[in-house]
Amino acid sequence: MKIRTVIIDDEPWARKRIATLLGTEADFEILRACSTGDEAIEAISTLSPDVAFLDVQMSGLDGFDVIEAIGVDAMPIVVFATAHQEYALRAFDAQALDYLLKPFDEDRFRRALDRVRRELEKPAQARADLQEVMRAVRPERRRFLQRVVVTTAGRLVFLKATEIDWLEASGNYVTLHVGRETYLLRETLTAFDEKLDPEQFVRLHRSAIVNVERIRQLLPWSRGEQMAVLHDGTQLTIGRAFRPRLLGMMSNAIAGQ
């Protein structure tokens, strides 16, 4: 069975180099070569490859942005590529995943392929190792969700996190409200909340999170509670336990103007 492969790199010579070397391997099949992070997200989401050769640093969305947009659990086996030795090498001490330091030679590339073959026999462990790699490479700052990929009516929709007006819990799903559109994702609201920038999104009650930039006004409601009115007229109640944080964020926004 062929090992289905996607190449992701913004440098044409690097894409060509990987494609040429893979062409000598009978068990590897190249599904697509991508030059941008957006192309990579679409390719991985639609083609479900077994392995992705992923550039660490690219213009626009970088390799880690691609992983964050798709989600670690949905990613194939990943071989990172980097031209900066100090950037990622220490993160791969365990060698469960692999990296290619540009420019790489044929022997080094084939060793990476051998690791890929072994990792494909244990995908659950590979995903766990990928999470460790991401934590090791980016210890200096937490990266919040920038883009969301949703499937609706048989098509893929790419959303910026900043486009989301508010989010609503629907059991083990979360409903994204984006303008007049709604999108359903198979993820709990609590899990999705951990990915959002807390400087932009705040929980109103157990079942709703709002983009604070969409709040037009706060109004008194029954029994001393309050209601948030969004720019499109949507009205959302504010739980008492969550009110102090919301008011603090709104006060900071006013002070910063």
Global confidence as pTM: 0.55
Segment 75-119, tens digit of pLDDT: 888 898 877 655 554 444 323 367 788 888 999 999 999 989 987
DSSP string, the chain: --EEEEEE-S-HHHHHHHHHHHTT-TTEEEEEEESSHHHHHHHHHHH--SEEEEESS-SSS-HHHHHHHH-GGG--EEEEEES-HHHHGGGGTT-SSEEEESS--HHHHHHHHHHHHHHTT-HHHHHHHHHHHHHHH--SSPPPP-EEEEEETTEEEEEEGGG--EEEEETTEEEEEETTEEEEESS-HHHHHTTS-TTTEEEEETTEEEEGGGEEEEEE-GGG-EEEEETTS-EEEE-GGGHHHHHHHHHHHHHT-
Spell out the residues 6+ positions from residue 36 whose beta carbon is closer than 8 angstroms to its own: 10, 58, 59, 60, 61
Decide yes or no: CATH 3.20.20.70 for domain 3-137: no
Q: pLDDT 10s digit of each residue in the chain, 257 long? A: 899 999 999 999 999 999 999 999 999 999 999 999 989 998 998 899 999 999 888 888 888 778 877 877 778 888 988 776 555 544 443 233 677 888 889 999 999 999 899 878 776 665 566 666 666 655 555 568 888 888 787 778 889 899 999 999 988 899 999 999 999 988 889 888 888 988 899 999 989 999 999 999 999 877 767 899 999 999 999 988 788 888 887 766 544 44
User: How is domain 148-255 classified at the CATH fold level?
Assistant: OB fold (Dihydrolipoamide Acetyltransferase, E2P) (2.40.50)
Task: Report domain extents, the chain.
Answer: 3-137, 148-255
